[in-house]
Amino acid sequence: MISTTVETHKAVDNQLLPLLEHLARLGRRAGESKLAPGGLRPRHLIALRLLSEQGPANQQGLADSLSLDPSNVVGLLNELEERELVTRRRDRGDRRRHIVELSPRGEEELCTAYARLRLVEDDLFSALSTDERATLYDLLVRAVGVTSPRCPVVEEPPTCPA
């Protein structure tokens, strides 16, 4: 009876989701604060990063990669286009489709945002060594890859122009 209680207690102590949720909440709060000057939100960053890494995409392909409803992607792209972070043009092969591309200004904003987020991560993970952070990153990439196969995870951050 006592050993079952101890085993149950240990199992509860090793739950990852509450820790991940707590860490995500801290990171989200600090990240939003750091990103506030640029006005970018996480969903903006994800869309900009996909365009930076994968190049121009049609709106439907972007919706699929972001796992968003196409009508939500239109709203997202309207916001980004209004700020001149992306450009949209008609697809020459199919006039019904739009091709979305990261603008030079969008690339600059993305680099600035990731530099700000690096500061948040350095603070949030200050208790971990460089090797431990690399291991954590690899484990999270692996876990995300299993649960979200449609949204590829790239291991290298975008390179900023010099």
Summarize pLDDT for 61-108 with one digit per residue, the tens. 888 888 888 889 999 999 999 999 999 998 888 888 889 999 999 999
- Residue 100's pLDDT is what? 93
Asked if residue 34 lies in contact with residue 41, where contact means CB atoms within 8 angstroms, the answer is no
Strand ranges for 18-157 from DSSP E: 57-58, 86-90, 98-102
Domains of the chain, start order:
17-147 (1.10.10.10)
- Residue 5's pLDDT is what? 58
Within 10 A of 116 (CB to CB), how many other CB atoms are there? 18
**Is residue 125's pLDDT more than 50?**
yes
Of the given ranges (6-15, 17-26, 34-43, 121-130), which has the lowest mean pLDDT? 6-15
pLDDT range class, residue 23, cuts 50, 70, 90: very high
Among left, alpha and beta (phi > 0; psi -120 to 50; other), residue 58 is beta
Furthest-apart CA pair in the chain: how many Å? 71
pLDDT range class, residue 162, cuts 50, 70, 90: very low
Angstrom distances, CA of residue 82 to CA of 34, 78, 107 = 22, 6, 15
Tokens describing residue 97: 């489709």
Cβ burial, residue 69 (10 Å; 0-12/13-18/19+): exposed
CA 61 to CA 56: how far, in whole Å?
10
CA nearest to 152, candidates 66, 63, 75: 66
CA nearest to 70, candidates 79, 80, 60: 60
CA 21 to CA 1: how far, in whole Å?
32
The dihedrals phi and psi of 153, each to the nearest 5 degrees, come to -110, 125
Claim: this prediction has a pTM higher than 0.75? no
- Residue 154's pLDDT is what? 34
